[in-house]
């Protein structure tokens, strides 16, 4: 595509995991950041579509480029950020200040979606099923949890299974205290405690914005015998090829999961593409767990491309559709 006969220039913003590892950050701290082959794959699709591609890098690199006067017709943004509840919103907010459009959600969508407690509160008010929950801001608040065991606890604003292990499923108040104290200290952020759901686990891919959004399909996440128990944990995600089986499912329960996911996506006003995780209760009713408004896009390892491959959508088609969606809503 072109604007007035000129090739559109698309910048790419991202956080490379290797860059942060070199700075001394740990493997779990950098779990959400990207590998070089992800950037290469996205860049190839941009070029194959006839656009210009410009690798920008992280938010600090973006700030330098903006101050130097660089501009783009669109930025393909997959930068996760490092600090704060607004970390995924930082690049979109900076671009917004310069009136430059980017792929995926706006600053509000990313900030709300990252904080799992805020997300669940909004969706609960919209009537979308989600397990009962409490947000623990400090050690004193652990005593106030009045939910029926078993429970499940995790950091309120992390992804890629960070902070989740087999111990995340809690069966008594002693372990609730122990785990919440550990998570508060380790991740320096509130802890989300919610009713544990014993049913099937799904991840649903979404493509598009608003009325144009659609559920691509549902993968059931099945833990193999050697996997860490009770959850789609950090360990299981890191070694998914050995520990996890992804099965494309289309039965009634899966269809309900897709319906709920689309309702949640539109209710949060998220953009272009993403992924929603759900788990069913004992009666087989899927419940919203969390949304990834900035889903991983590694062509081999990430859940959304894995789902697309199982429904016959190539990586090229997925990335092209994301760009098309962003251009449609921003070039009016």
Read out DSSP for 115-149? SHHHHHHHHHHTT-----EEEE-SGGGGGG---PS
Average pLDDT rounded to a whole number, residues 291-302: 95
Closest to 103 measured CA to CA, from 326, 273, 321: 326
The answer to whether 117 touches 136, Cβ cutoff 8 Å, is no
pLDDT more than 90, % of the chain: 84
pLDDT at residue 314 in the model:
98
pLDDT at residue 5 in the model:
55
Write the Ramachandran bin of 238: left for phi over 0, alpha for psi from -120 to 50, otherwise beta: alpha
The answer to whether 59 touches 20, Cβ cutoff 8 Å, is no
pLDDT at residue 234 in the model:
79
pLDDT at residue 9 in the model:
98
pLDDT at residue 303 in the model:
94
Domains and CATH numbers, the chain: 2-112 (3.40.50), 132-195 (3.30.1490.20), 198-330 (3.30.470.20)
pLDDT tens for 125-162 read: 999 999 999 999 999 999 999 999 999 999 999 987 88
pLDDT at residue 332 in the model:
56
pLDDT at residue 13 in the model:
98
pLDDT at 6 over 80: no
pLDDT more than 70, % of the chain: 98
The answer to whether 213 touches 274, Cβ cutoff 8 Å, is no
* Lowest-confidence segment of 24-38, 75-89, 291-305 by average pLDDT: 24-38
Q: What tokens were used for 95?
A: 């671009």
pLDDT band at 240 (very low <50, low <70, confident <90, very high): confident
Residue 116: which residues within 8 A CB-CB, separation 6 or more? 154, 156, 157, 192, 290
pLDDT tens for 191-209 read: 999 999 999 999 999 999 9
pLDDT at residue 235 in the model:
85
pLDDT at residue 15 in the model:
94
pLDDT tens for 263-287 read: 999 999 999 999 999 999 999 999 9
Residue 110: which residues within 8 A CB-CB, separation 6 or more? 86, 88, 89, 92, 104, 293, 294
Q: Is the pTM of this model over 0.95?
A: no
pLDDT at residue 270 in the model:
98
pLDDT at 3 over 60: no
Between 16 and 238, residue with greater pLDDT: 16
Average pLDDT rounded to a whole number, residues 12-19: 94
Closest to 292 measured CA to CA, from 191, 162, 205: 205
How far is Cα 54 from Cα 46, in angstroms, rounded to an integer? Answer: 10
pLDDT band at 229 (very low <50, low <70, confident <90, very high): confident
pLDDT tens for 92-124 read: 999 999 999 999 999 999 999 999 999 999 999
pLDDT at residue 31 in the model:
83
pLDDT tens for 43-62 read: 999 999 999 999 999 999 99
pLDDT band at 2 (very low <50, low <70, confident <90, very high): low
């Amino acid at each position: 595509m072109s604007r007035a006969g000129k090739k559109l220039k698309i910048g790419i913003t991202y956080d490379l995991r290797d860059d942060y590892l070199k700075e001394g950050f740990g493997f779990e701290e950098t779990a959400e950041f990207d590998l070089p082959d992800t950037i290469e794959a996205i860049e190839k699709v941009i070029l194959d579509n006839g656009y210009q591609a410009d690798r920008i890098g992280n938010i600090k690199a973006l700030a330098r480029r903006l101050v130097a006067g660089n501009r783009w017709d669109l930025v393909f943004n997959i930068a996760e950020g490092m600090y704060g509840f607004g970390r995924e919103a930082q690049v979109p907010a900076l671009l917004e200040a310069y009136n430059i459009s980017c792929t995926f959600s706006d600053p509000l969508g990313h900030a709300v979606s990252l904080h799992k407690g805020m997300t669940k509160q909004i969706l609960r008010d919209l009537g979308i099923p989600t397990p009962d929950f409490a947000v623990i801001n400090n050690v004193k608040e652990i005593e106030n949890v009045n939910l029926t065991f078993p429970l499940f606890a995790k950091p309120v604003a992390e992804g890629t299974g960070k902070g989740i292990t087999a111990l995340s499923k809690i069966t008594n108040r002693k372990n609730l205290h122990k785990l919440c104290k550990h998570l508060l200290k380790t991740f320096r952020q509130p802890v989300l405690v919610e009713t544990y759901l014993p049913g099937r686990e799904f991840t649903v891919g979404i493509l598009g914005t608003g009325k144009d959004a659609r559920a691509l399909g549902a993968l059931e996440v099945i833990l193999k015998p050697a996997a860490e128990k009770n959850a789609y944990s950090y360990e299981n995600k890191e070694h998914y090829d050995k520990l996890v089986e992804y099965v494309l499912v289309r039965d009634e329960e899966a269809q309900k999961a897709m319906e709920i996911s689309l309702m949640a996506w539109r209710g949060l006003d998220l953009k272009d593409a993403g992924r929603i995780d759900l788990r069913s209760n004992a009666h087989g009713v899927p419940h919203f767990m969390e949304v990834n408004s900035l889903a991983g896009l590694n062509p081999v390892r990430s859940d959304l491309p894995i789902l697309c491959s199982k429904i016959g959508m190539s990586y090229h088609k997925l990335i092209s559709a994301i760009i098309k969606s962003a251009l449609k809503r921003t070039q009016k």
